[in-house]
Amino acid sequence: MVTNLTAISPVDGRYGKQTELLSPFFSEFGLIHYRFIVEAKYLIALVGILPELKQIKDTSIIDSLQREMAIFSLDDAQQVKTIEETTNHDVKSVEVFMRDLLHGYPKELEFIHFALTSFDTDGMARPLMLKHAHEQVIVPLFMNVLHSLEVAAQQWQHVVMLARTHGQPASPTYMGKEIMVFVERLKGQIKQFETIPWSAKLGGATGNLNAHYVAYPNIDWHTFSTEFVASLELVRTPLTTQIEPNDNLAAYCHNWVRINNILIDFVRDIWGYIMLEYLKQKPKSGEVGSSTMPHKVNPIDFENAEGNLGFANAMLEHFASKLTISRFQRDLSDSTVVRNVGVPLAHDIISFNSILKGMKKIEINLKKINQDLDDNWAVISEAIQTILRREGYPNPYDALKELTRTGEKITKDSLHMFIDLLDVRDPVKLELKEITPWNYTGVVL
């Protein structure tokens, strides 16, 4: 029996409690359930157009199928797996399971999985379960992360701090603004999901609805197929081989890669601010930061997030490149790969929880931030030379360069002494002396 101590993957082991919300979608049970949903809804849709099925239109069989879709259980899934031991085919096993449910209607049994290939079932089941997981679990948790960043940005919107470009002291900025940069980037990318269709395939063995049309040539199967896929809140790809080309799935994966990269950028910056002591971590009673150094409070939540985001990206990038390629009309090299589609999203879930946990631990360290600002008066040299340019002062950049690169520490007093020696009007000197590392911050939108 798999437990958190015996599971091979930490997704189901160490982090199992965090990822269990994805189990109804990406587990073997979830896939079987969604295959059953597709097959049941497909048969119900056929009842409306095939004369051979009209006699069951007003029977309890429709209600039975709809009820079974809602209450489909682990025991039901286990029955399917038991059937698979004989059939050695996972989709066929769902069909046989449905036949057992409808055993009282022998003629109608032949219309279960009518004219479909296995990928038709999977080509609708997989995007449907991914869509539901995305909407019900993944995005809501991501939005919690986004909200935690917005709260921090609002709390620290007026905290002036020394910026770092190339790791070196640079023109001052606001801690809140720097976090809002990530918020805006993430909002832009999450909105991109709205442009990516949830694509599905329904077209038979080679995509041309051959079996459908040979049996019932007078039915507009293309319209039926498009409308049926739409009833699942998916979008049918009309021209395919045996499989959905997965280009939109690749776009979905790439979108998460971009979001994950932004989050990696964020957690690395937070890690850096903790290292600079601009942010402090609140110690939690009982927690151990190091096995040998009791004083340490390590930024492990942000480090764990970075590791899981990177692992997720490696898989997402593989999906995007692998699942869009298939030899001729079909090969099975994608089948074993696509079974793992929930794994990178589980690692995203783990990283989101780590970020949320880490954000609750950090607080601003104004003493250190102000100390760094006071130790770096040189950063307002940009402001001084810009005003001197306005005043027509000759070669202001070189004048400031000579002052700031002497190797000696620039202080408020030494900077004001430099200003006093400038050949400019007294009002300009006063204007220059009003500039400090705390007010040279520009304007934030």
Q: What is the pLDDT of residue 291?
A: 46
CA atoms of 325 and 333, how far apart (whole Å): 9
CA distances from 135 to 129, 149, 332, 339 (A): 10, 21, 29, 20
The residues spanned by each domain of the chain are 18-114, 123-207+234-366, 376-433
Successive 10-residue mean pLDDT values, the chain, 445 residues: 87 94 96 97 94 79 87 96 95 94 80 96 98 98 98 97 96 98 98 98 97 97 98 97 97 98 98 97 67 66 98 98 95 94 98 98 97 95 92 85 74 92 94 97 87
Q: What is the pLDDT of residue 297?
A: 74
Q: What is the pLDDT of residue 13?
A: 93
| Known catalytic membership, residue 290 | yes
Look up residue 304 and give its two tokens: 């764990």
CA atoms of 417 and 401, how far apart (whole Å): 16
CA atoms of 140 and 142, how far apart (whole Å): 5
Fold of 18-114: Fumarase C; Chain B, domain 1 (1.10.275)
Does the 123-207+234-366 domain belong in CATH 3.40.47.10?
A: no
- The sign one gets for the Cα dihedral 170, 171, 175, 177 is negative
Among 317, 256, 340, residue whose Cα is nearest residue 27 = 340
Q: What is the pLDDT of residue 64?
A: 84
The two beta strands, 362-364 and 279-281, are: antiparallel
Q: Each residue of 207-224: pLDDT tens digit?
A: 999 999 999 999 999 999
The answer to whether 25 and 132 are in contact (CB under 8 A) is: yes
| Known catalytic membership, residue 381 | no
| 3-class DSSP assignment, residue 105 | coil
The answer to whether 212 and 221 are in contact (CB under 8 A) is: yes
User: Class for domain 376-433, per CATH?
Assistant: mainly alpha
CA atoms of 142 and 355, how far apart (whole Å): 10
Neighbours of 68 (CB within 10 A): 17
Beta bridge partners of 174: 160
Q: What is the pLDDT of residue 333?
A: 94
Residues 6+ apart with CB under 8 A from 179: 149, 152, 153, 156, 266
CA atoms of 249 and 49, how far apart (whole Å): 31
Phi and psi at 279, nearest 5°, equal: -120, 140
103, 166, 285, 291: the active-site residue: 166
| 3-class DSSP assignment, residue 67 | helix
CA distances from 105 to 5, 8, 102, 115, 337 (A): 47, 44, 6, 19, 38
Residue type, 100: D
Q: Each residue of 139-197: pLDDT tens digit?
A: 999 999 999 999 999 999 999 999 999 999 999 999 999 999 999 999 999 999 999 99
Look up residue 391 and give its two tokens: 């005043």
The answer to whether 43 and 92 are in contact (CB under 8 A) is: no
Q: What pTM value is reported for the model?
A: 0.93
60, 73, 231, 290: the active-site residue: 290
Q: Each residue of 407-423: pLDDT tens digit?
A: 678 899 999 998 998 98
Among 193, 199, 192, 207, residue whose Cα is nearest residue 234 = 199
Residues 6+ apart with CB under 8 A from 239: 207
